[in-house]
Amino acid sequence: MPDVKRAISLGIVLVAFGFGLHKAWQQPNPSFGFKLPVVDPPVAQPVVAEKPPVRKRGRHRFRREDEPTVVVGRFDSHFASSHLHVQTHASSLIELKDGRIRAFWFSGSREGASDVTINSAVFDPARNEWSAEQVVASRVSTQRGLHRYIAKVGNPVAGRAEDGSLRLFYVTVSMGGWAGSSITMMTSRDEGETWSEPRRLITSSFINISTLVKGAPFLYADGSMGLPVYHEFFSKFAELLHFDAAGRVIDKQRLSKAGQGALQPVMLVESPQRALVLTRYSGPDNPHLARSIATEDGGQHWSVGKTSLPNPDAALTGVALPDGRLLAVLNHQEHGRDSLSLMTSADGGRHWKELRRLEEMRTVRDKKLDEHQCLSLVQGLLQNSDAHLAQAPATTLGEYLDSAKARVRAEGGCGFEFSYPYLIQARNGDFHLTYTWNRVFIKHVTFDQAWLDRHLKKGADAN
């Protein structure tokens, strides 16, 4: 009998909770339409210039002085994370008011461990370097602020509210795996130097679990914030949360047309009325392709789109360019995460072309490399990823190599992972991309409009 009473009491609580949540979401619909990100008009910036190649005539070499110099643009990479002998994953980015770039990711002994923390560092474009990383939130600090048990934390993303403050959203789990997640939010009014106490968001009537975040927040036309989220418990699907000025969830929209198995939605806002959502696909259909849905009326209605992007059940990212083209970064393959590509679309996401292979290690996937051969490859990748390591003392490079060895050689072979990309365009037009580098570092790639235009032109000329 006590068990029956407890079951009845629990049922009453759940019904009351669901009714209250339903009432809380019976707010007026958002003012549909999107606010476009601010990108300043291009200004003259120093770029790398390349002289035309030297030509040969018989036994003589010459270069015509009247041949134009080729503008290559700027393309550079660094490691944003600096802690060694840890695992890192799920990075995100936001531009600060002074033009610097702040990154977030989670770091610890392994994904889901109790020692995982949400870390942050700042990139200074003028100095072309990253600050030391600092802990923003931990399981312990979140537990203390929420007054509830927290088992693990993960997946941080940040957005800028209409009032100029930063909002950091991250995943917290009290029991079970990631399917038991809820979303916690903190606010900063000093560009991420300090943060408010964490607040658990109410996003689901099912005991408020199974809501996760990965995609970048965006703004509606009225200045309110939207946040792409997804569910993994029983059913897998994507949603959009809508927040009021105080950061309270006032509405949500299920993106059912993306279908079952659609995870980690990413919003690409093309105009005040048009946007495309790309999602990771975790369903049984083959071939494995990223899913997409589009709106032409500011988010009121969504229609199924088609995409030619292979997706090995892995996260992707993208942005819409002011000229109407789209950029995306993903593992452009059906299986594995050992290759990462920068893609472009000129027709709203229906067809995509590869602009550049950012990482490529599929060629060694099935080779029987011994430890020396494998670590020689890893050392080359490390030095090519960060100029500081190219000139670093042997002891420093050895520490980085030893950190990478733990993951690359985890199963005795030579396995690589480049995953969970996150791409933004800064106000000055530059692009910043971060992604997980073999689960041991967060890699940062930056390129400017000149570099992009050159590669877009090369792609067009190839056709």
Residue 53 has pLDDT above 80, yes or no: no
The pLDDT of residue 307 is 86
| CA–CA gap between residue 171 and residue 155 (Å, rounded) | 6
22-to-25, 233, 255 alpha-carbon distances in Å: 5, 20, 18
Q: State the fold for domain 2-305.
A: Neuraminidase (2.120.10)
Contact 152, 165 (CB under 8 A): no
Measured in residues, the chain has a length of: 463
C-alpha torsion angle, residues 421, 181, 227, 424 (rounded to 10) = -20
DSSP 189-239: SSTTSS-PPPEE----TTTT---EE-SPPEEBTTS-EEEEEEE-SSS-EEE
3-state secondary structure of 397: helix
Instruction: Name residues whose C-beta falls within 8 Å of residue 366's C-beta, 6 or more positions apart in sequence.
Output: none
Task: Give bridge partners of residue 61 from the DSSP assignment.
Answer: 56
Residue 64: which H helix or E strand, with range? none
Beta-carbon count within 10 A of 214 CB? 26
Lowest mean pLDDT among 61-65, 167-171, 217-221, 234-238: 61-65
Cα 291 versus chain centre, distance: 17
Lowest mean pLDDT among 127-141, 202-216, 307-321: 202-216
The pLDDT of residue 7 is 45
The pLDDT of residue 233 is 83
For helices 394-408 and 371-385, the axis angle rounded to 10 degrees is: 120
Token pair listed for 196:
């408010």
Residue 128 has pLDDT above 50, yes or no: yes
Mean of pLDDT values over 419-441: 97
Question: Between residues 61 and 418, which one has the greater pLDDT?
Answer: 418
The single-letter code of the amino acid at 51 is K
Q: Which of 30, 132, 127, 42 is nearest to 79 (CA)?
A: 132
The pLDDT of residue 3 is 52
Contact 18, 26 (CB under 8 A): no
Contact 39, 91 (CB under 8 A): no
Task: Give bridge partners of residue 293 from the DSSP assignment.
Answer: 277, 304
Confidence grade of residue 412 (pLDDT, cut at 50, 70, 90): confident
Instruction: Name residues whose C-beta falls within 8 Å of residue 320's C-beta, 6 or more positions apart in sequence.
Output: 268, 269, 270, 275, 276, 326
pTM exceeds 0.85, yes or no: yes
Contact 397, 382 (CB under 8 A): yes
| CA–CA gap between residue 97 and residue 193 (Å, rounded) | 13
Contact 157, 215 (CB under 8 A): yes
pLDDT digits (tens, 9 = 90+) for 17-31: 344 344 334 444 556
Confidence grade of residue 4 (pLDDT, cut at 50, 70, 90): very low
Confidence grade of residue 72 (pLDDT, cut at 50, 70, 90): confident
Question: Between residues 285 and 353, which one has the greater pLDDT?
Answer: 353
| CA–CA gap between residue 346 and residue 336 (Å, rounded) | 27
Parse the chain into domains and list their residue ranges.
Answer: 2-305
Confidence grade of residue 124 (pLDDT, cut at 50, 70, 90): very high
Burial 314-338 (b: 16+ CB within 10 A, else e): bbbbbbbbeeebbbbbbbbbeebbb
In the block, tokens 């007054």 appear at 147
Cβ neighbourhood burial of 57 (10 Å; 0-12, 13-18, 19+): exposed
419-to-80, 97, 244, 263, 306 alpha-carbon distances in Å: 15, 28, 32, 15, 23
| CA–CA gap between residue 241 and residue 226 (Å, rounded) | 5
| CA–CA gap between residue 359 and residue 4 (Å, rounded) | 58
The pLDDT of residue 60 is 54
Mean of pLDDT values over 250-278: 94
Percent of the chain at pLDDT > 70 equals 86
Confidence grade of residue 437 (pLDDT, cut at 50, 70, 90): very high
3-state secondary structure of 434: strand
DSSP 246-295: TS-EEEEEE-GGG-TTEEEEEEEE-SSS-EEEEEEE-SS-SS-B-EEEEE
Instruction: Name residues whose C-beta falls within 8 Å of residue 14's C-beta, 6 or more positions apart in sequence.
Output: 207
